[in-house]
Every structure is written in C-alpha cells, then in structure tokens.
Chain A
Amino acid sequence: MSKITSLADLKSIKAFVEAKMSLRERSETPESMVQIRVAMATCGIASGAKIVMDYLITELDKRNIPAIVTQTGCMGYCYAEPTIEVTRPGHQPLVFGYVDAKKADQIIEKYIKNGELLDGIIPVNYENIEGK
C-alpha cells in the first residue's frame, strides 16, 4: 500500500523548498514577484476559473517564474469570465478576459516573460476594479 500524505511530510517539504530557494528568491518580497488574481465568484467558477488557476500555479512553477497566484471575489466582468488580473513587478495591473489554459499559456510566454501585449486585455479604470 502506498503511503498516505500526512502533516509530518510538510516538515520535509518545507526543508526541501527552503533549500531549493536561492538567496535571491528568499529575499523576494511579494511586490517583486508576478502577482495574479483569478476572479472566483459564481460566474468565474461556472466558466472554468478553477481550471485556469490550477494551470497557472502548476505552469509558473514548472517554468521557474516566481509568482503568487490567488483567487479573489467578483472583479465585475461577468461577460468575459474567466478573468485574471496580472501584475508584473513595477507595472500597472492588466486584466485579461476569456482566459482558458491556452490563453493562460500565451499570457505566461508573451506578457509575463516578455511584456508583449496580446488580445483579450480588458480596458479598465483601475480605481473601479475592486468589485463592490
């Protein structure tokens, strides 16, 4: 029988992650990493936001891009779900609509890695984004 993951395993994972992290990464503040927020209100969830979030976490890690991916409530773009907000260090946040795994891949390769713009950017007045 295979071993069941337990809380005790977290200690070794912690040691492993900390050993793997370079000094540079360790000193990385959230502001110096790529930050992505995935809109996870009912309409986002119903249109596949969870799959997009899973994909982003796994792929950014695989591609060695330090990033923090979190979910958030309604961002207010029902018509364009799933939507994500991407903030590259030192840049204004950009919101992308109709994101699926394929689109997320392009966002990583073009926008996150190289700062290239691509289709599907939702023009926003950033002051209004925090869905109220």
Chain B
Amino acid sequence: MKDLALHILDILQNSVTAGATLVKLQIEEIPSKDEYLVKLIDNGKGMDAEMVQQVTDPFFTTRTTRKVGLGLPLLKQNAERTGGNMAIKSEPGKGTEVDVKFVYSHIDRLPTGDISGTLALTVSSYPAIDFIYSHTTPEGTFIFDTIEIKETLGDLPINNPQVIAFMKDLISDNLKEIKAS
C-alpha cells in the first residue's frame, strides 16, 4: 500500500466484511511523544485467540480465493518499519480492535494519502453501517459521525454523488483546520 489512507480503506473493509454495524476509527497525532496512532474498533464477528495470532502472518487468510492474507501483515510491516507496532485485540461475537503505532517523525512513515476520500467512499457504500471517525492533533479534534449526517440527510441517500463530494470536502477542510499531517 502506498499510503496510510489505503491501509485504512483496507481495514474498514475488513470490519464491514466481518459484519460490523458500528465502526470507529480514531487517529491521534502526538508529536510531543513522537507518535502517530491509528485505532480501529468494530463490533463485527471477531476472531478467536488463535486467529488473532495467525492474522498478522502473511500466509494466513480465511479466504479461499487466494492463499495469503495481505492487508494486516502489510500494515504491521509498515508500522514496524518506523519503529512502531501493531496490536490486535478481538473476541468472537464481540468485535475487534486494531491498534497501530507509527513513529511520528520517522522518515519511513507512510504519506497520509486521501483520508477524506477513503471515508466518503466507504461510508457511502454501506448506508446501514454507522462510522465514527475522530482525528486529534495538537490543534484540536475533528469528529465525523455518519449518524449525524444521516439525520440531516433524511431520505436523501448517502450514496448520492453530491453527498459524497460534500463529505469529502467536510473531512478535508476540517483536517486542514486542525493541521493534520
């Protein structure tokens, strides 16, 4: 994956595939501690301990269409390359939490990429799923909550192209406002 946003697209899709109805994504930039943290929490079907163990092994996947899982091992590798790490907590029937730490100032930290587009495309693809994204920097916190968006939309579908464009602008303007890196 060439940037962080594509990894986020990938793990959000994992949560959707796991049947989650609520997906939370939290990004926290803490330059004073030299940390860039990404946390994903879902209420999908979860994984047992053995699977959590296996899931960061590049030769593991539950899918039958190819022999190796790729998403999580790649993300882990990209975090470790900066001196950071990835941890997964999960419980069958409850949900999954993926915690990734990148070292903020490390030269190998992936470019951020198009986070606003990633969120807009994912939330518009799954109208029945709620997504809450929060992004914190030393300048402040921005929260994007699809429950709020859908309330305002009423019966206008969230996958309307104008609504998708609006969500992109909303997120990217506010990320600029808090000087997200």
- By a beta-carbon cutoff of 8 Å, the part of chain A in contact with chain B is 4-7, 9-11, 13-14, 16-18, 40-43, 45-46, 50, 53-54, 57-58, 60-61, 68-74, 76-78, 131-132
A75–chain B nearest beta-carbon distance, Å: 9
Query: With A and B bound together, what is the CA distance between A7 and B147 in angstroms?
Result: 12
Query: With A and B bound together, what is the CA distance between A6 and B166 in angstroms?
Result: 9
Is B9's CB under 8 angstroms from A50's CB? yes
Question: Interface residue tally of chain B, by bracket?
Answer: 35 or more
Asked if B34 is at the interface (CB within 8 A of a chain A CB), the reply is no
Query: With A and B bound together, what is the CA distance between A10 and B64 in angstroms?
Result: 42
Query: With A and B bound together, what is the CA distance between A10 and B170 in angstroms?
Result: 9
Assuming the A-B contacts A45-B9, A73-B17, are A57 and B161 also in contact, with contact meaning beta carbons closer than 8 angstroms in the complex?
Answer: yes
Is A40's CB under 8 angstroms from B64's CB? no
Which DSSP category, helix, strand, loop or mixed, fits chain B's interface?
Answer: helix
Is B152's CB under 8 angstroms from A53's CB? no
Query: With A and B bound together, what is the CA distance between A123 and B165 in angstroms?
Result: 34
Q: Which of B37-45, B48-56, B82-90, B116-124 contacts A (4 or more CB under 8 A)?
A: B116-124
A52–chain B nearest beta-carbon distance, Å: 11
Q: Which of A11, A46, A71, A76 contacts B13 (CB 8 A)?
A: A71
- Inter-chain contacts of A16 with B (CB < 8 A): 162
- By a beta-carbon cutoff of 8 Å, the part of chain B in contact with chain A is 1, 6, 9-10, 13, 16-17, 63-66, 69-71, 74, 114, 117-118, 121-122, 124-126, 148-149, 152-154, 156-157, 159-164, 166, 169-170, 173-174, 177
Is A17's CB under 8 angstroms from B159's CB? no
Is B152's CB under 8 angstroms from A4's CB? no
Is B161's CB under 8 angstroms from A58's CB? yes
- Inter-chain contacts of A18 with B (CB < 8 A): 156
Assuming the A-B contacts A5-B166, A7-B148, are A17 and B160 also in contact, with contact meaning beta carbons closer than 8 angstroms in the complex?
Answer: yes
Assuming the A-B contacts A4-B173, A14-B156, A71-B125, are A57 and B164 also in contact, with contact meaning beta carbons closer than 8 angstroms in the complex?
Answer: yes
